[in-house]
């Protein structure tokens, strides 16, 4: 049975990716006259979206479609929304959901754009959503892929992955976000899609550090390739699939995030590589670099499952001050020699 079109779509979060994905949705459903409403924390951000159809803090002068509106009132945004897109910092998700859930429609579908593990619990965002809301897994989905917000806002062609345990739900969401410049694929490996999107941020920090220290393409290629290897080890150990890591939410997202100057995590790593302290990096960043927040949780998860992740471990040590950026390469290169195909 085909799911009916949503009466309304709510996007909770007016940062660069939340606003950009709202644009994707609005462009996709424009002919069906489905309203898309963004929840913004600040009144001035909501007013700018409503009056100027821009979100200049994050997307400069990109014009937003006419069927997008915004409000700082959570109830107003969520009431009547059959699809709710969650695009807030991962470490504040549990706290925000405690408020949001009071206004969710009983049969709403929740879509996570967030890429992080919750510190303290090591839960993926879909797991936090399910735990707090008690929504069944067939109404909780995630989206991941090579999704650099500014490029998509400029309507440069890209593809992504919608993952849900229920294929019909994944297909329903994919149809709602299929814009002329945005191609969604579907997948039922939620764990693999989420973890690929989480770990790539940590690898991008490492690649950024290499950039900041002036290292060349050989070094960065090595980090990306071995980063994919350790991500794959973790995903497989937890029950995810190899083909997921070879796809858009694995290799595709990793390459984009590690290679682009638009990547927040690459930028943060580059600043660390240039000698800035972590507090100084955070002060300079207008948005959260999720790899900084999730690195320790990912490493703890890997250690709990006896998965060796040397690049992640080195990044954690740099972030926590027990290893200098300058000594990170020496630590990685001094590891025991082994076959490339060994699992640890």
Going by the annotation, the residues of the binding site for NADPH are 16-17, 41-42, 58, 115, 149, 264, 290
Handedness of CA 122, 123, 125, 128 (dihedral sign): negative
C-alpha span between 253 and 30 (Å, rounded): 28
**What one-character DSSP code corresponds to residue 220?**
H
Binding site for substrate, by residue number, is 115, 264-265
Binding site for sn-glycerol 3-phosphate, by residue number, is 115, 145, 200, 253, 263-265
Closest CA to 263 of 130, 148, 176, 175: 148
- Which value, to the nearest 10 degrees, does the dihedral of the CA atoms of residues 261, 262, 266, 267 take? 80
Neighbouring C-beta atoms of residue 332, cutoff 10 Å:
16
The one catalytic residue in 23, 200, 220, 293 is 200
200 belongs to the catalytic site: yes
C-alpha span between 30 and 167 (Å, rounded): 24
Cα 87 to its chain centre, rounded Å, is 9
CB 187 within 8 A of CB 193: yes
C-alpha span between 317 and 320 (Å, rounded): 5
Binding site, by residue number, is 13-18, 41-42, 58, 115, 145, 149, 200, 253, 263-265, 290
CA angle 200, 205, 206 (to 5 degrees): 95
Backbone angles phi, psi at 159, to 5 degrees: -130, 160
Burial of 340 (0-12, 13-18, 19+ CB in 10 A): exposed
Active centre residues (catalytic): 200
């Amino acid at each position: 049975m085909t799911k009916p079109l949503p009466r309304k779509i709510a996007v909770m979060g007016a940062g660069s990716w939340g606003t950009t994905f709202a644009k994707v949705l609005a462009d996709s459903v424009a002919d069906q006259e489905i309203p898309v409403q963004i929840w913004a924390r600040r009144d001035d951000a909501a007013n700018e979206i409503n009056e100027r159809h821009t979100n200049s803090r994050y997307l400069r002068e990109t014009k937003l479609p006419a069927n997008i509106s915004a409000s700082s009132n959570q109830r107003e945004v969520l009431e009547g929304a059959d699809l709710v897109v969650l695009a807030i910092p991962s470490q504040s998700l549990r706290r925000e959901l405690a408020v949001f859930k009071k206004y969710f429609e009983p049969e709403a579908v929740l879509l996570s754009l967030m890429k992080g593990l919750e510190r303290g619990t090591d839960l993926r965002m879909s797991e936090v959503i399910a735990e707090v809301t008690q929504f069944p897994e067939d109404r909780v989905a995630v989206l991941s892929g090579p999704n650099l917000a500014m490029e998509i806002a400029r309507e440069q062609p890209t593809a992504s992955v919608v993952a849900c345990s229920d294929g019909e739900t994944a297909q329903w969401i994919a149809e709602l976000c299929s814009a002329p410049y945005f191609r969604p694929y579907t997948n039922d490996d939620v764990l693999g899609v989420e973890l690929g999107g989480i770990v790539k941020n940590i690898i991008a920090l490492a690649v950024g550090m290499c950039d900041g220290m002036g290292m060349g393409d050989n070094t960065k290629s090595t980090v990306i390739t071995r980063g994919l290897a350790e991500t794959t080890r973790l995903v497989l150990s937890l029950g995810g699939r190899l083909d997921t890591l070879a796809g858009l939410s694995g290799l595709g997202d990793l390459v984009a995030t590690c290679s682009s100057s638009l990547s927040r995590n690459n930028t943060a790593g580059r600043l660390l590589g240039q000698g800035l302290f972590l507090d100084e990096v955070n002060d300079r960043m207008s948005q959260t670099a999720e790899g900084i927040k999730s690195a320790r949780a990912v490493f703890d998860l890997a250690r709990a499952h006896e998965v060796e992740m040397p690049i992640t471990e080195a990044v954690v040590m740099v972030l926590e001050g027990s290893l200098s950026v300058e000594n990170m390469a020496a630590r990685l290169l001094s590891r025991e020699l082994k076959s490339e195909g060994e699992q640890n």
